[in-house]
Amino acid sequence: MNTNMEKPYVVGIDIGGTNTVFGIVDARGTIIASGAVKTQIYPTAEEYTDAVCKGLLTLIKANGGVDKVKGIGVGAPNGNYYNGTIEFAPNLPWRGVIPLAAMFEERLGIPTALTNDANAAGIGEMTYGAARGMKDFIMITLGTGVGSGIVVNGQMVYGHDGFAGELGHTIIRRGGRLCGCGRKGCLETYCSATGVTRTAREILTARTEPSLLRDIPAESITSKDVYDAAVKGDKLAKDVFDFTGEILGEALADFIAFSSPEAIILFGGLAHAGDFIFKPVQKALEENILPIYKGKTKLLFSEMKDSDAAVLGASALAWELKDLK
Amino acid sequence: MNTNMEKPYVVGIDIGGTNTVFGIVDARGTIIASGAVKTQIYPTAEEYTDAVCKGLLTLIKANGGVDKVKGIGVGAPNGNYYNGTIEFAPNLPWRGVIPLAAMFEERLGIPTALTNDANAAGIGEMTYGAARGMKDFIMITLGTGVGSGIVVNGQMVYGHDGFAGELGHTIIRRGGRLCGCGRKGCLETYCSATGVTRTAREILTARTEPSLLRDIPAESITSKDVYDAAVKGDKLAKDVFDFTGEILGEALADFIAFSSPEAIILFGGLAHAGDFIFKPVQKALEENILPIYKGKTKLLFSEMKDSDAAVLGASALAWELKDLK
């Protein structure tokens, strides 16, 4: 993609609810240097941008300086591709509309593009991962929240305002769990990492059987703890994944009725639970899908490393950027 | 669109669960002649095709003959654009996969394209109606069933298999009303014309208050009866529309999270109920939409006459067809 040998690198930044990962990427899609900061510890977007820029500049200086970087691509929750802004992201500490692309441009003097973090992951998957060669697929990111990147006719779906593809905030249980977005029953409240821990706590309270999870204080149980317990054969932990997977499969069946994708690709922390999550998702998907779609859409795990997909995807945006005036 | 003055006409055919309407359309989008048959009375697709072709040939002969017709476009439930087939349509009397485009081609010697009836209506709306100039919109057809045509980046969404956009079969009440597709709780079971009559019967049974609808035998109540009663101020009939609109609004809020369209356009019989349906839909939409989408998506009624939109939309497909070998 890069024809400008004076500026052989792009930067990809993946802003997650918990961590921000950034990397310098060369024209072959190799991450030649990377770093990270904790997203949640910065009370203002300015302090956050400062911290990311400091980390980035250290990497950039070690690799030939700012003049070698063609552009920066950012993947962020509620990222608006058209405006370069993060707008009302429920899982980030900063409220309102944050002109993050402009803030990076001002601080670093490097042109910057921004999109939804899940869209960035989707672009990464399409370029380097399981969606290579696909024209219609849906990327579902299962992290702190649940995100999605939808590709139709080979193009990312941004919608008329740049915010399309918030499938984590479709309602899967009307009147169900309260979501960070202020509504009830969003997919994200069940199928994110935090949703898994909520489910674990609910089942631990509702039932009396022994479980390895009872050795952990309820408020500090993580989805990783649930996975570890399931690996050790813990029935209750497996039931947590069955419940999570069933709800996700029901949701995916409805998503297929929208864009009839060739594949749905599961990405992020929860996707690492392997068969514990894959089998109940596949089962619920088959049981809930409209007959005309049956057996047509592949359910796949991402082929990218979690951080790489988002960083590479975000960085891919940057090759197309023009120099700043 | 038509550069071939030897063949100045196209034919559009709209296959509905109840009626099939067809028309000859000129290059300016005027329906110069039209006809109709009842869809349900033909037990086989062959008898049905015969009846439509007889009706069509009468019109075609009166307008210069088969040589004047460039192509036929068909809008049909469960229509597959890629294969020219109708596949497992729950609201049509013929089972399995029907190669309808090929059947018309064989019978009439005119090249034929076929798509989902709601997609055809969407193409009509984009070309002649409320979606002129829009690149992202969703058409919701409220007829015997509930259909949808989704346009993203100015292109109809067909999906990898040609069947994208079955939003009437997304689950809005899990475990709810039994649907013709064999599943439970589909949007179509609540927000189609038949859904309205089911709701009317349910409320008439559940409540004891007087209603104009009690003058009609329960099994023969139509959505038109409910509308007529509402116009006369019948409280129970208005409640039927409130219930229907609330469910539709909830569903639309989730659809917006998918493609973030500039507009959602309501089309078909139920859309004629005006404010009785529009107001509760709008209210539920605003109450259920994710904050980042609030106030951005227009809710519109179709600007096309019901039959015209589908016939014109279907016919628009035909201008691009190549002559048969």
Question: What distance in Å separates the CA atoms of residue A41 and residue A56, rounded to the nearest whole number?
Answer: 18
pLDDT at A124: 83
Q: Cβ of A293 and B161 within 8 Å?
A: yes
DSSP conformational letter for B184:
B
Q: Cβ of A161 and B260 within 8 Å?
A: yes
Q: What is the mean pLDDT of chain B?
A: 93
Q: What percent of chain A has pLDDT over 70?
A: 98
Interface mutation vs chain B, best among A98, A160, A163, most B CBs within 10 Å:
A160
pLDDT at A55: 97
* Inter-CA distances, A71 with A24, A59, A241, Å: 10, 14, 40
pLDDT at A261: 98
Token pair of A62 as six digits: 């070690």
Per residue in A236-291, pLDDT (tens digit) is 999 999 999 999 999 999 999 999 999 999 998 899 999 999 999 999 999 999 99
Q: What is the mean pLDDT of residues B130-154?
A: 94
Interface mutation vs chain B, best among A259, A262, A264, A297, most B CBs within 10 Å:
A259
Please determine, for residue B23, whether its predicted confidence score (pLDDT) is greater than 60.
Answer: yes
pLDDT at A135: 96
Q: Cβ of A155 and B157 within 8 Å?
A: no
pLDDT at A88: 84
- For B88, residues 6+ apart whose C-beta sits below 8 A from its C-beta are A291, A292, B78, B95, B96, B97
Please, are residues B89 and B27 in contact by the beta-carbon 8 Å criterion? no
Residues of A in contact with B171 (CB under 8 A): 250, 253-254, 288
Please determine, for residue B307, whether its predicted confidence score (pLDDT) is greater than 70.
Answer: no
Q: How confident is residue A199, by pLDDT bands cut at 50, 70 and 90?
A: very high
pLDDT at A5: 64
Q: Which residues of A129-165 are buried (b: 16+ CB within 10 A; e: fewer)?
A: bbbeebebbbbbbbbbbbbbbbbbbeebbbbbbbbbb
**pTM for this predicted structure:** 0.88
pLDDT at A325: 62
Sheet containing strand A298-301, strands side by side: A155-156, A146-152, A137-142, A263-267, A298-301
Please determine, for residue B291, whether its predicted confidence score (pLDDT) is greater than 70.
Answer: yes
Q: How confident is residue A183, by pLDDT bands cut at 50, 70 and 90?
A: very high
Question: What distance in Å separates the CA atoms of residue A114 and residue B125, rounded to the nearest whole number?
Answer: 33
Q: Cβ of B253 and A171 within 8 Å?
A: yes
Please determine, for residue A116, whether its predicted confidence score (pLDDT) is greater than 90.
Answer: no
Per residue in B76-105, pLDDT (tens digit) is 988 899 999 998 887 799 999 999 999 999
Question: What distance in Å separates the CA atoms of residue B104 and residue B110, rounded to the nearest whole number?
Answer: 7
Provide the shortest C-alpha distance from residue B161 to chain A (in Å).
7
pLDDT at A7: 87
Of A8-17, A124-133, A245-254, A255-264, the poorest mean pLDDT is in A124-133
Q: How confident is residue B295, by pLDDT bands cut at 50, 70 and 90?
A: very high
Of A33-47, A112-126, A253-267, the poorest mean pLDDT is in A112-126
Q: How confident is residue A4, by pLDDT bands cut at 50, 70 and 90?
A: low
Residues of A in contact with B254 (CB under 8 A): 170-171
Q: Cβ of A260 and B164 within 8 Å?
A: yes
Please determine, for residue A1, whether its predicted confidence score (pLDDT) is greater than 60.
Answer: no
pLDDT at B199: 98
pLDDT at B91: 79
Q: Cβ of B165 and A258 within 8 Å?
A: yes
Please determine, for residue A213, whether its predicted confidence score (pLDDT) is greater than 90.
Answer: yes
Q: Over A97-127, what HEC string results?
A: EECHHHHHHHHHCCCEEEEEHHHHHHHHHHH
Residues of A in contact with B290 (CB under 8 A): 166, 169, 181, 183
Please determine, for residue A321, whether its predicted confidence score (pLDDT) is greater than 90.
Answer: no
Q: What is the mean pLDDT of residues A206-211?
A: 96
pLDDT at B131: 94
pLDDT at B6: 79
Closest residue in A to B79 (Cα) is A292
Q: What is the mean pLDDT of residues B192-221?
A: 96
The structure tokens 């894959």 sit at: A278
* Distance from the Cα of residue A142 to its chain's centroid: 6
pLDDT at B175: 96
The structure tokens 């060739």 sit at: A262
Q: What percent of chain A has pLDDT over 90?
A: 79
Q: What is the mean pLDDT of residues B241-260?
A: 98
pLDDT at B5: 64
Q: Cβ of B160 and A78 within 8 Å?
A: no
Q: How confident is residue B325, by pLDDT bands cut at 50, 70 and 90?
A: low
pLDDT at B78: 85
Nearest to B88 among A134, A260, A292 (CB): A292
Per residue in B210-239, pLDDT (tens digit) is 999 999 999 999 999 999 999 999 999 999
Longest dimension (CA), chain B: 66
* Distance from the Cα of residue B304 to its chain's centroid: 12
Please determine, for residue B2, whether its predicted confidence score (pLDDT) is greater than 60.
Answer: no
Q: What is the mean pLDDT of chain A?
A: 93
Closest residue in A to B157 (Cα) is A259
